[in-house]
Chain A
Amino acid sequence: MNRSFIARNPSVLVFLSLLALFTLTVSVLAEGFGVGLISTSFVKTLGKTLCLCLIAVAMDLIWGYTGILSLGHFAFFGLGGYMIGMWLMYERTRQIVVTSLADGVLPPTPEEVEAAIGNQIFGVVGSSDFPLIWAFADSLTLQLALVVIVPGVLALVFGWLAFRSRVTGVYLSILTQAMTLGLSLYLFQNASGLRGNNGLSGLQNLPGITAPQSAVSLWFFWASALALGLGYLLVAWVVSGKFGSVIRGIRDNEARVRFLGYSVESYKLAVFTLTACISGIAGALYYPQAGIINPAEVAPIASIYLAVWVAIGGRGRLYGAVIGTAFVSLVSSWFTGGQAPDINLGFYTVKWVDWWLILLGLSFVLVTLYAPRGMSGLIDALPRRKGEDA
């Protein structure tokens, strides 16, 4: 990431500056600093939106630049969330258990503590034993590593299998969709070891931290902004060099790139795995702000929405993915949150909670038909210097 990279990509600099400005503004106006113009819950919403923007950047890399429409990236997002959720839940439960057991006459043995934690966490699914996958749940470092490793390994194995047999185009899309459906069905089982459809909850409470939620929400907001900035920088750097040229070549004509002697499968696999890792990090930052994660989060519909956001924003442009995601998800939560005013037509009252999805669906059809470059196409239409991005 030398100076010339930034110089060649002024849009990256513009984006990072805007992101920094946005972060600063929100921080100053947030409850955590006493001004209170922005409520804690809205800070959380903004923080979550930044995480969604991060996975959208990853989605743009795999779809907009490499031409692979993955309909399964929320599987990686969810796995990242589950990994950090395991530590949060374990550690917080451990502290509660230790405090309550300390009241007993005898000092608790490690076995008693472990059994009590198991009871607390898995009581809802009728079990009290820790499944094997919780082996590292007591170590924050290891679970943080797993946030990247688990989605990465899943993407590596799945991608290797899929690309090796040259599954491309819509078939790959359907296969990725099947992957996330399979994962969500697996997690729905009580026997999955991740509490079935109860999911992991209480994630907004950081163990050992007594600071109020107004402060914690800001920390996560900052972390999300930082992650988005770094992720954006990384992806922009990846697509700017020779690697970026090759993957764009794969997008435009895979056979020709292969004939030129490039190992197309390796490039695809590298991009697929990298984006999965970024998605995992995004998920690990998202779910502590959401407070709960359950298998419904990785249902196929979520990943399709991700594609919708990127498409509306304009794929093939990283800022397009960010704009689309931020716009659609914020507008979505505004409409479905019941804040939008109903429209009274006299004979029928249009309730936005009911009609927003229809509007979204139809506008999505219109964007696909008439504005394939999405919202960032509007930015492109502005007079500007040549040779940026794309």
Chain B
Amino acid sequence: MVIAPSPFDLPESPSLMKTLLLAALAALLLTNAAPAQTTPVQDILQSQSDLIMKSSRRTIGPAIDAIADSGLPQMQSVLEAWRAKDMWQRKSDGLFFAASKNDDGTLKLRSFEDNAVVGDVARNTLIQLKPNSGIRAMIATALVQFQLSDPDPTKRHAALDSISRDPDAALLAPLRASINGEDDAALLARKTRLNNLMTMTYDPDEASRVAAINAMAGDLGLDFRGTLNPLLITKMTVAKTGTTPDANVAAQLTPGTDALSRSAAYAILVDAGLAPPLVTQDARDDALRANIVAGYVADTPVAQLSTEAKRDAAYDALAAQSLAAPRVTDTDITVRLSEHQFFEVYAEPSPAVTTAAKAALAKSESRVAASQMVDLGLDALSLASIYFLAAIGLAITFGVMGVINMAHGEFIMLGAYTGYVVQLFVPNHTLSIIIAVPMAFAVTFAAGVALERLVIRWLYHRPLETLLATFGVSIALQQLAKNIFGTQARPLTSPTWLDGAWAINDVVSISYIRIAIFILALMFLGLFLFIMRRTRLGLETRAATQNPRMASSMGINTDRVNMLTFGLGSGIAGIAGVAIGLFAKVTSEMGGDYIVQSFMTVVVGGVGNIWGTLAGAAMIGGFQKGVEWLNPSNTLAAQTYMIVFIIIFIQFRPRGIIALKGRAAGD
């Protein structure tokens, strides 16, 4: 072993010297210690050995490239081991191994060539490579190309996820390289899309960036808009009047317009050091306070400084004595502003790219707006079906029978609590909902029949008294529920197949539970129509409500009919309660949230007509969502306006959208 005198101190090409030296050393050791074998991985590692061992972020680049570009499949595990600090160098011969720690503190070495176990060795015979975070990031980038072509599709998806989370110019080339070999259609689509998106930002060629932007113009994806927006970031710059800044100018702004107020423009000048700062009120008052001499500020008694005008005058006097910076007057501001021009400048230097991006974004946004309208329509539809569901029981008891049941909301609550109790005993959510629906119907049917028999039937000719008596029942039921179930909200969990949402695109989506409620509302509509028009009960109900005395003289037992009809209406409220409980919390006060809206729905729609109730629900739901769209942050306002709207609407159609005519209309 001959070592040249301190070769590392030589200024000229030390790495070459070191490489040669180490290669010679390695060759010596290899020939001595092991029989000759084909070790392409180790050869490459050895050729970069000094760079690897130096482990400096500035010089490591070629080493990583050499490893990554070697085309050897084993290099992925080399890079992974290196990044995970699992690559060790044997001191005796400089060879690199993957190592894992044994329980007894020794290391189990594995060869990079074939992952074969080389043997257990003591720790002190090896040097661990500890790449710093900068190097690890470079290794990760190099690894991407392996991951993008990994045989396991999940790994490829994960690689794409990580690239889209944290895109980088260096990743563009490996991504492009991996597109050709891709055989999975979904992955190919993702790769192509990601390639397009990254081309927009990172491709050095302006023409291909513009082409990529134009190719995707109008796309609804959030990722697309998220890529374009940074391209269009602007900042304000100032130039002397008559000159233009040497940059990609988005617009010139005139101070005093909506886009740039005078004060904002002046603030820009101050920030750029082109104008003295304004004297704020606080600064003025500080200066006044600092210059009080024996109760006077510049000949003005302090006690008199109780208006803005007096304080300004006193400050001006101070400024005249050079005790304070002069105030910037309105004229000063006008002069300064006229001396400068204000520009919005893109951070992106290429005008072609920004123009294309702007056009593409505008196209996307108009399509997003259209999709949002569709989304709003779906929202309104689902809100309308909730209102309809809550109101349909009322459409029977109030609409058909004319009974004001203020406890209707509590029947909804009763149904929801029934569902909750069923879930306590039946843990399977699907099964428990299937049981809960008829159970809720049975419970609220019984409650409705009891209420009708005990209270309402005595009050058929006194509607206002019915209102008050059922209100008494309502507060009693509410308190009873509070006593039994407590004040905190109880969950009614929907089956897993109702979780999630049906996403049509990035903007339009509707949760499955709302679809289910919509279908349930339709089913109830059908059920109502069937019972009222096709069954004996429906016939008798209509007869008994139109003319009870005539009906009873025709042999209809009106007492029984009233009881059953009221029970039916209450039972439907119970089922609605289960449905509402699935997306809203079950509390003892939940009924109150729906009772006024439900009455509104029935009244606005037109009493006594189920289509009216449907129209009322659609109108109220649509209107409320419409107002929310205009003022998205404020649901309360939407509800307020909705009530005002209903009060005004009643002016024009006092009997609702679909009014009964003739004898059925009563009085």
Chain A positions near chain B (C-beta within 8 angstroms): 69, 105-111, 158, 161-162, 164-167, 169-171, 173-175, 177-179, 181-182, 185-186, 188-189, 191, 300-301, 304, 307-308, 311, 354-355, 357-358, 360-365, 368-369, 372
CB distance from B642 to the nearest CB of A (A): 8
Checking A106, A191, A361 against B288 with a beta-carbon cut-off of 8 angstroms, the contacting residue is: A106
Chain B stretch 273-323: residues in CB contact (< 8 A) with chain A: 285, 288-289, 292, 302-308, 311
Chain B positions near chain A (C-beta within 8 angstroms): 285, 288-289, 292, 302-308, 311, 404, 406, 455, 458-459, 462-465, 467-469, 471-480, 482-483, 592, 596, 599-600, 603, 634, 636-637, 639-640, 643-644, 646-648, 650-652, 654
Q: Which residues of A contact B306 (CB under 8 A)?
A: 106-110
CB distance from B51 to the nearest CB of A (A): 58
Do residues A166 and B654 form an inter-chain contact, with CB atoms below 8 A? yes
Do residues B303 and A107 form an inter-chain contact, with CB atoms below 8 A? yes
Do residues B636 and A362 form an inter-chain contact, with CB atoms below 8 A? no
Of all chain B residues, the one with the shortest Cβ separation from A351 is B483
Checking A111, A162, A368 against B472 with a beta-carbon cut-off of 8 angstroms, the contacting residue is: A368
CB distance from B294 to the nearest CB of A (A): 13
CA distance A311 to B459 in the complex (A): 15
Do residues B647 and A175 form an inter-chain contact, with CB atoms below 8 A? yes
Do residues A110 and B307 form an inter-chain contact, with CB atoms below 8 A? yes
Checking B455, B458, B463, B475 against A360 with a beta-carbon cut-off of 8 angstroms, the contacting residue is: B475
Checking A164, A171, A307, A308 against B651 with a beta-carbon cut-off of 8 angstroms, the contacting residue is: A164
CB distance from A119 to the nearest CB of B (A): 15
On whether A354 and B479 interact (CB within 8 A), knowing A169-B463, A177-B596, A181-B596, the answer reads yes
On whether A109 and B473 interact (CB within 8 A), knowing A165-B650, A185-B636, the answer reads no
Do residues B647 and A179 form an inter-chain contact, with CB atoms below 8 A? yes
Q: Which residues of A contact B467 (CB under 8 A)?
A: 69, 170, 173
Checking B292, B469, B639, B654 against A364 with a beta-carbon cut-off of 8 angstroms, the contacting residue is: B469
Q: Which residues of B contact A363 (CB under 8 A)?
A: 472
CB distance from A366 to the nearest CB of B (A): 8
Do residues B478 and A357 form an inter-chain contact, with CB atoms below 8 A? yes
On whether A107 and B305 interact (CB within 8 A), knowing A161-B647, A178-B600, A357-B478, the answer reads yes
Do residues A362 and B654 form an inter-chain contact, with CB atoms below 8 A? no
CA distance A170 to B467 in the complex (A): 8
A and B contact pairs by CB, cutoff 8 A, 26 listed = A69-B464, A107-B305, A161-B647, A165-B650, A167-B650, A169-B463, A173-B464, A175-B603, A175-B650, A181-B643, A182-B640, A182-B644, A185-B643, A301-B592, A357-B476, A360-B472, A361-B472, A361-B473, A361-B477, A364-B468, A364-B469, A364-B471, A364-B472, A368-B468, A368-B469, A369-B459
CA distance A171 to B655 in the complex (A): 10
Do residues A308 and B654 form an inter-chain contact, with CB atoms below 8 A? no
CA distance A188 to B643 in the complex (A): 15
CB distance from A265 to the nearest CB of B (A): 13
Checking A107, A188, A191 against B302 with a beta-carbon cut-off of 8 angstroms, the contacting residue is: A107
Q: Which residues of B contact A360 (CB under 8 A)?
A: 472, 475-476
Other 8 A-B pairs with CB < 8 A, given A175-B650, A177-B599: A178-B647, A182-B647, A185-B636, A189-B634, A357-B475, A358-B480, A362-B476, A369-B459
Do residues B404 and A170 form an inter-chain contact, with CB atoms below 8 A? yes
CA distance A161 to B288 in the complex (A): 59
Of all chain A residues, the one with the shortest Cβ separation from B463 is A170
Of all chain A residues, the one with the shortest Cβ separation from B478 is A357
Q: Which residues of A contact B603 (CB under 8 A)?
A: 171, 174-175
Do residues A165 and B654 form an inter-chain contact, with CB atoms below 8 A? yes
CA distance A364 to B472 in the complex (A): 6
Of all chain A residues, the one with the shortest Cβ separation from B310 is A109
Do residues B482 and A354 form an inter-chain contact, with CB atoms below 8 A? yes
Q: Which residues of B contact A164 (CB under 8 A)?
A: 651
